[in-house]
Structure 1
């Protein structure tokens, strides 16, 4: 009799404990659900933002909006503080959350068919006929030698025609346009526009030559000897 009473009491305690655990779990689930529904303010895109847009200029294209905590991405931004100098890495549409992953250093972005500009250099572009650009067979990432030619020399007093290889290892950033060649067995014709990475002094001389002379390019191989400029004119061409 006593053993049956003990067993019954134990079963009653177990049943009560089970009910308590179920209630506790249910209460915990409710708390977790409520926490997940708690509104959190995050930046949401309100107007289309193009790739490359400066972070400092997109304040009018985003707005703080409350979203359920469970719907907020881990890298969602709550403000643009500390994002100065960065740009939008991917085009964004209204309704998207603005993530820290969407903002990047400008140097990390490159357009299709282009390479990044090395730090400390600037870009300059010029058009050139295919026959003066290795038959138009240059592409982004190539390094070129830059030749400058002038009909009356490049000295204040004028002089005979002259040409000089003035720069080695100039990095091609991009090539736009396709030279036309009706017959693959013949040289390509037409012109292309090249963008190269240079310093300010180099850019100035390239622009001057594009305006007042002509530019020719050679495709250089790695580790090519860096010879100094040695202008050639009529008096030296046969030497």
Structure 2
């Protein structure tokens, strides 16, 4: 009889504990659901804010707005106005829809380069005419060979020779028309306007020195490469071996 009474009491306690646990779970679920749908108005970017742009310039351009954000995705250092960020600049690009947070603003933004320069290279630019840059078919990412049209300072003999077998183009800049005058065998001169375009190349120091020296002492011409192109260094082409 005593044993039966103990079992009944234990069952009642278990049932009561179960009821309490169910109550706590439901209450927690209600709290989580409430948090999911409750919102807080925070400052949000409505247009892209560029790295280095001041908070004042972005505000004047209407790039901020107060918008409701659900509490479960609210960031810890969100802002409700720009007063705490006065005089600061964006440290990185901030895109439309992002919450404005203090950690993305600071006194100065580190300058970034748009050029993708390989770690072991430097970037230099050359100014070439359309024919010299393969009629405009050279684009960022193109692989090119560089040829030099020049003359030997010892005897004045003209030559064409491969200067560098394979160079990567990492940028194509603006185009400017330049007047070029040529003289034929009769002494008659012809002046024409040729567009010249800045091309930026990724090179080693040794390659940069060769290109810059050659650019000042002759004419550079690019040859556009594909995956199967074969280009090998060799003797210069001159009048003596042109038809050999």
Q: TM-score, normalised by structure 1?
A: 0.52
The answer as to whether partners of 2:75 and 2:101 remain within 8 angstroms in 1 is: no
Give the structure 2 partner of residue 192 of structure 1: 197
Given candidates 218, 222, 228, the residue that maps to 2:223 is: 218
CA–CA separation in structure 2 for the residues paired with 1:229 and 1:195: 26
CA–CA separation in structure 1 for the residues paired with 2:21 and 2:168: 70
CA–CA separation in structure 2 for the residues paired with 1:229 and 1:160: 17
The answer as to whether partners of 1:133 and 1:218 remain within 8 angstroms in 2 is: yes
Q: CA deviation at 1:226?
A: 3.5
CA–CA separation in structure 1 for the residues paired with 2:207 and 2:161: 14
Compare the two structures and name the one with the higher strand fraction.
Answer: 2
1:149–1:96 distance in 2 versus 1, CA, 3 Å: farther
CA–CA separation in structure 2 for the residues paired with 1:172 and 1:120: 15
Q: TM-score, normalised by structure 2?
A: 0.51
CA–CA separation in structure 2 for the residues paired with 1:27 and 1:137: 68
Provide the aligned length of Structure 1 versus Structure 2: 166
Q: CA deviation at 1:70?
A: 6.7
CA–CA separation in structure 2 for the residues paired with 1:229 and 1:123: 26
Given candidates 161, 170, 175, the residue that maps to 2:172 is: 175
Give the structure 1 partner of residue 127 of structure 2: 127
Superposed CA RMSD in Å reads 4.5
Given candidates 160, 163, 178, the residue that maps to 1:163 is: 160
SS of residue in 2 equivalent to 1:177: strand
CA–CA separation in structure 2 for the residues paired with 1:161 and 1:118: 35
Q: CA deviation digits over 1:97-128, x for unaligned, max 9?
A: 658xxxxxxxxx994xx7x4444222211110
* Unmatched 5+ stretches in structure 2: 1-7, 33-48, 53-70, 77-90, 105-111, 178-192
The answer as to whether partners of 1:166 and 1:229 remain within 8 angstroms in 2 is: no
The answer as to whether partners of 1:130 and 1:179 remain within 8 angstroms in 2 is: no
Q: CA deviation digits over 1:54-112, x for unaligned, max 9?
A: xxxxxxxxxxxxxx997448xxxxxxxxxxxxxx7x5248933658xxxxxxxxx994x
CA–CA separation in structure 1 for the residues paired with 2:12 and 2:23: 17
For 1:36-51, list aligned pairs within 5 A: 50=51
The answer as to whether partners of 2:165 and 2:233 remain within 8 angstroms in 1 is: no
Q: CA deviation at 1:134?
A: 1.0
For 1:45-194, list aligned pairs within 5 A: 50=51, 71-72=74-75, 91-92=93-94, 95-96=100-101, 111=114, 116-150=116-150, 152-153=151-152, 155=153, 157=154, 159-177=156-174, 189-194=194-199
The answer as to whether partners of 1:146 and 1:166 remain within 8 angstroms in 2 is: yes
Give the structure 1 partner of residue 20 of structure 2: 20
Q: CA deviation at 1:170?
A: 1.4
